[in-house]
Amino acid sequence: MQEFSLDFLKCIRCGSKLDLDIFKKVIEIEEGILECKKCTLCFPIIKKIPIIWDDFSKYISERIMLGGKLFNSVSHYKMKKFLRDSLSNSKRNNDDRTTLENRWTAIYQNSQKSKFYSLIQNELSIIPKSKLVLEYGCSIGIMSNFLANFHQTVFGIDRSFSAISLAKKTQKDNMDYFVADSLSQIFGKMKFDLILALNILEFIEPGDLLKHVYQQISKGTFVLSDPYDFDRGKNSVKKPLNELSLRKTIEEVGFNITTKTKKPSYLPWSLKLNLRTTLNYKVDLIIAKKGDTDFIL
């Protein structure tokens, strides 16, 4: 974790400032604990990655294989104890997400040259420089890393420890990544100038995300895209949106959609699942604004 990130992070339960106990630091904080003194909630920093989860034992319950690997990777006795206690309190879950998240990390890594990313980068390159940028569902950091070239401070959030581990390998000095839920208030009442949420609406209730993002932007831009592939079985969202209802909801929340993206689009996004299989999506892009801006899209 970059030490400057401590100035931005807040307790996701009570919103208080977090204290930092560093166990190992070289350039970044490689191992340590973030603690809220008010509600005693603790968040581990492991392999340079803060895991900002309200119930860490529950997070590990869904990733027991990851929990074992994390325990073997840490060295400080306090971190060993924290992970041992968390693992002992976790409930064994037959649906371990570790393998699935590792697989999708590899898929995104092998699909970085998809035309989709260059098309999105072209759209982002005309947005004026911002002080604070946040990307939800940043995965391996393709877009967050790109944004760090043009904006002052960039943060990326994803649920996958595997994906964030890969993102950290190409991280720039003005950015940081966190394992966290997109709807958690890890930055408290902090306001951002630019927020991205690319192709994640099938993993989180779209309406909830839109309201959450609206509260996080004081005057700026929201960029989101999705292929509307909501069929996730028992994990499907309860209120999926299509290209028309999404735009209607965005405007009802309070955003203004740019003229260029008022109509649905069909951007190609190719994901290489393996040597013989490629998943081809047609992704819809929406750029919305809150407040007055000094640029027109």
pLDDT at 27 over 70: yes
pLDDT at 93 over 90: no
pLDDT in the model for residue 177: 98
pLDDT at 56 over 90: yes
Average pLDDT, the chain: 95
pLDDT band of residue 292 (cuts 50, 70, 90) is low
pLDDT tens-digit map of 105-115: 999 999 999 99
- Cβ burial, residue 243 (10 Å; 0-12/13-18/19+): middle
Average pLDDT, integer, range 40-52: 97
With helix as H, strand as E and coil as C, how does 99-141 read? HHHHHHHHHHHHCCCCHHHHHHHHHHCCCCCCCEEEEECCCCC
Q: Which residue has the tokens 């005693």?
A: 40
pLDDT tens-digit map of 117-148: 999 999 999 999 999 999 999 999 999 999 99
pLDDT band of residue 95 (cuts 50, 70, 90) is confident
Q: Which superfamily is assigned to 103-290 in CATH? A: Vaccinia Virus protein VP39 (3.40.50.150)
Structure tokens given for 121: 């980068």
Amino acid at 257: I
pLDDT at 296 over 60: no
Calculate what percentage of the chain has a pLDDT beyond 90: 93
Distance (Å, whole) CA 92 – CA 271: 32
CB contact burial 17-47 (16+ within 10 A = b; e otherwise)? ebebeebeeeebbbbbbbbbeeeebbbbbbe
**Residue 135 contacts by C-beta under 8 Å, 6 or more apart in sequence?**
143, 144, 147, 154, 155, 156, 157, 195, 196, 197, 198
pLDDT tens-digit map of 213-266: 999 998 999 999 999 999 888 888 999 999 999 999 999 999 999 999 999 999
pLDDT tens-digit map of 257-285: 999 999 999 999 999 999 999 999 999 99
Structure tokens given for 210: 């839109």
pLDDT in the model for residue 295: 44
pLDDT at 297 over 70: no
Q: Which residue has the tokens 């390998």?
A: 169
Listed as own residue / partner, the contacts of 245-250 with beta carbons closer than 8 Å and 24 or more positions apart are 246/201, 246/206, 246/284, 246/286, 247/286, 249/206, 249/207, 249/210, 250/210, 250/222, 250/286, 250/288
pLDDT band of residue 211 (cuts 50, 70, 90) is very high
Could you give the residue range(s) of every CATH 3.40.50.150 domain in the chain? 103-290
pLDDT band of residue 39 (cuts 50, 70, 90) is very high
- CB-facing half-sphere around the CA of 245: CA atoms within 13 A: 8
pLDDT tens-digit map of 162-172: 999 999 999 99
Q: Which stretch of DSSP H or E encloses residue 248?
A: helix 243-253
pLDDT band of residue 291 (cuts 50, 70, 90) is confident
pLDDT in the model for residue 3: 96
Distance (Å, whole) CA 70 – CA 24: 15
φ, ψ at 54 (rounded to 5°): -60, -40
Dihedral angle of Cα 183, 150, 129, 216, to the nearest 10 degrees: 0
Is residue 52 within 8 A of residue 13, CB to CB? The reply is no
